[in-house]
Structure 1
């Protein structure tokens, strides 16, 4: 009887032993994903620029400040002449709807011949999100530093605006 029970036990284990692997290898499938999005594109609005206006500087000079919202203040002996206008610069961004991006602008110098004035820039946001329609606009103001008895002339210069997906 013992032999018969032992035989039955061995026969009962044979199907499991036949299905079991060797134990030195195992494999499973992995997953790969990719998501291509619209590239971010920055466009400068045609005809726009930071316009610091027409002014006189006096012997002490001063500054002209234009916020990205268009509010203008001045310091020191800088005085606007009648009919002077100021304006912010403007840009538009297109890209992947709902995606956050950062805005960085540089400082610069405006020159007229050998004369110059330094300026800094201030975008309306340092970080924002592309709207559902795939676009977003922003403005850029700045601060112009005017020397005492600044030389007369028409001054121009450039700065760089950069947008980057976050």
Structure 2
């Protein structure tokens, strides 16, 4: 009787395993070639045409600021500073790439430090802006100009001298 039970179990196992083996084996195989492709775009170029210049400033014993308006480039002195001359201007940049291409412009986040050449003093640009929307389209010639402006905080009795600093501007495909 023990022997009959062992045979019955073995037969049941073979009966269950056989259909599983048949399912795993392909009855008819097919092969085809896949296709891969890509498009290579012209690299975007970004050129600074003119520097962002807060102009010539006369400070006082009261702090102030110089604001360059992003859409029209008008320079406005506020508080205890006076602008002298006409050298205050937005920074101008030129993008070059494929005709009609859409791009996105990104600028460095404020604050940006301007340091006095020779050391000893700093000022802070606490706002960085571009004119219009950050998303632009290149023209038929594959070009687009845009402007960067900002706001400069001038300390009370700011030390005389020439100040400069740098900021990043990035243009990416959109």
TM normalised by structure 2 equals 0.73
Cα distance in structure 2, aligned partners of 1:23 and 1:118: 75
Residue in 2 aligned with 1:11?
Answer: none
Tell me what 2:100 maps to. Answer: 98
Give the alignment partner of residue 113 of structure 2, picking from 106, 109, 124.
109
Distance 1:104 1:145, change over 3 A: same
> Which aligned pairs between 1:111-150 and structure 2 lie closer than 5 A?
111-112=115-116, 113-119=119-125, 120-124=127-131, 125-150=133-158
Q: 2:64 matched to which residue of 1?
A: 62
Q: Deviations over 1:105-151 (max 9, x none)?
A: 22422111211101132122411111121111111111101111111
Give per-residue Cα distances to partners, 1:12-66, cap 9 Å, x unaligned: xxxxxxxxxx953234554433211111111111xx2111112222222121111
Unmatched 5+ residue regions in structure 1? 1-21
Q: Write the distance in 2 (CA, Å) between the matches of 1:43 and 1:37.
A: 19
Residue 74 of structure 1 and its aligned partner are, at CA, apart by 2.5
Identify the residue that residue 77 of structure 2 maps to in structure 1: 74
**Aligned-partner Cα distance in 1 for 2:46–2:27:** 57
Per residue, is there more strand in 1 or in 2?
2
